[in-house]
Amino acid sequence: MMKNTNNPNLKRVIVDFKKLTPEILAMVVDKFPDGYDDRHIIRFKNANNETVEAVEIITEDTKYLVKVSARLEKVMEDYDEDNYVDYDDDDPEAVQDPF
């Protein structure tokens, strides 16, 4: 069954690098194994009327908008599942700043 990307019942979560968990990082790497480019990026205005750029990851019940950044690109490039075996999937401390 295809996931309905327009399902209004999906929980919407904006994820910036500081809140990136091993589980979300794995989903981003899985969806964009060769990285993302401009056609994958969604742009929207946040509550402060700032333009935000993100890539979309949709699960059964949640639509994640993962903010794009140089840090995200670097951890995707260096991604190795083994780096996260000692962490819980939802641990935002697991994904270390690559810079």
The pLDDT assigned to 7 comes to: 75
If one counts every other C-beta atom within 10 angstroms of the C-beta of residue 41, the result is: 12
Q: Are 7 and 61 in contact (CB under 8 A)?
A: no
> How many Cα atoms are found within 13 Å in the side-chain-facing hemisphere of 33?
1
Indicate the pTM of the whole model: 0.85
The pLDDT assigned to 2 comes to: 43
Cα 23 to Cα 91: distance, rounded to the nearest angstrom: 9
Please enumerate in sequence order all residues whose Cβ is within 8 A of that of 68, keeping only pairs 6 or more positions apart, or say none.
Answer: 36, 41, 53, 54, 55
**Per-residue pLDDT tens digits of the chain, which is 99 residues long:** 345 556 778 999 999 999 999 999 999 999 999 999 999 999 999 899 999 999 999 999 999 999 999 999 999 999 999 999 999 999 999 999 998
